Amino acid sequence: MKPQNFEESLVWYWIISTYVFYFIGILYPVNFVLAWILFFYLCKRLWNQTAQTRIEKRIKVYWIHWVWIVSILIVAIATIVGCITYDVGTNQTLRSLINWFTDWALLALFPLSGCLNIRPQLIYRAVCILCLQSLILIPFFYLAWILKLPAHLYSSPIERLIQNGELFYNVNLYGSDYGTNDIRLFLFAPWAPALGLIGNIYFFLAVEERNNKWRWIGIAGSLAMSIVSVSRLSFIALPIVFILVLLLTKITKPTTQIALGFVSFLAGIFSTALLGTIRDAKEAFYNARPDSSRVHEALGMIALEKWKEAPIWGHGFREAPGPKALAEMPIGSHHTWFGLLFVKGIVGFIAFLVPILLSFIVLLIKAQKSTTARVALYFLVTLLLFTFNDSQEVLGYLYYPGLIIMGIAFKEEVQLPKSSLNKKPEAAYT
């Protein structure tokens, strides 16, 4: 598996160089720069495209890509209006705009780069190589903890230019959760739950690797990422997403409908016991890390309460640092949707919700026949599940391989005649 063009070379070497960028302390800036390089290259290709351009070389931007572009631009407008309305000052307004260029914009730019000639299999292989690197490095991170080496090595001075938080520029060997001394690894992520998210996403990408050796290496490495992150959500999200997407992509099959009917029948009979089990599981989930759960819940309540101060356009920025009682976590963090209401208001909330819902519908339809669309659906559902646990817009620089796969799935031409709805999904790589 080798890159065959400029865009593939960029994506390939960027993914497999993740740890190099991380240990230098520049992973965040180089990854968002990648999004803008691919964007300007796409614009150049479109500008030079003529009627004589060969079909296989032509670039076409599809309507769902435009939905993401327009929606993220609306988020930018909400940011500006929120800052002006709440009178936060020129300095804070500029910082909020810079943050938009480095996080929110990536949610539109990376899917847009899927319009370029990038093969999904190239991304799958690169992710498997990164998973192998993680498997090799994880024992050394644990060894550093055993030897009592410093958990934090250093922070990149580049943070002073962008000023979006030192966490994205820290180089850590290990860490512990708030309120406990339990060891958790971050690897190349800024915090442990983010690594759990990446592990889950990489799992679904690695499963589609065609080479058996690399596929199993990718699966092992992605599962290891989730395990060492000690993220509660990552443990339960993987089976939930797998089963949910499996059912959604086979919902037209009679066997699936019969099975669902049988499960619904049993659920009705044992509803009381089932509800009790769900309550116990929820309580166990909360008590597994009570301090963290308390902080998440309190931050959400505060964000919703403060949202009433600026319901339409939001406050324009997160309040950082937060209360000391909540480990000084920024108000508007740890929950994408509550954070959107607080920072961007109802305008930003809807601007993000619309492309998510439309993308889900598009991918669900295409996933009936397209393997790439099915992988993208796994990614989107995983991301959606994690939006209730963290502010996912700031992590686009990490899960960008999934965003590119989603963009590739958007551009696939998939025909779904009525006679084919019950056929087995076939691979549709471009």
Per-residue pLDDT tens over the stretch 363-411: 999 998 889 999 999 999 999 999 988 888 899 999 999 999 999 999 9
Low-confidence ranges of the chain (pLDDT < 50): 417, 419-430
pLDDT of residue 308: 78
Distance CA 230, CA 253 (A): 37
pLDDT at 415: 67
Considering the entire predicted model, what is its pTM? 0.88
Sign, CA dihedral 127-130-135-139, equals negative
Residue 323's pLDDT is 65
What is the per-residue pLDDT for 419?
Answer: 42
Q: Give me 87's structure tokens.
A: 């009178």
180 — alpha (psi -120 to 50), left (phi > 0) or beta? beta
Helix (H) or strand (E) holding 184: strand 183-184
Say how far apart CA 45 and CA 247 lie, in whole Å. Answer: 39
What's the confidence (pLDDT) of residue 421? 40
Q: Tell me the per-residue pLDDT of 242-256, one tens digit each, with 9 for 90 and over.
A: 999 988 887 767 776
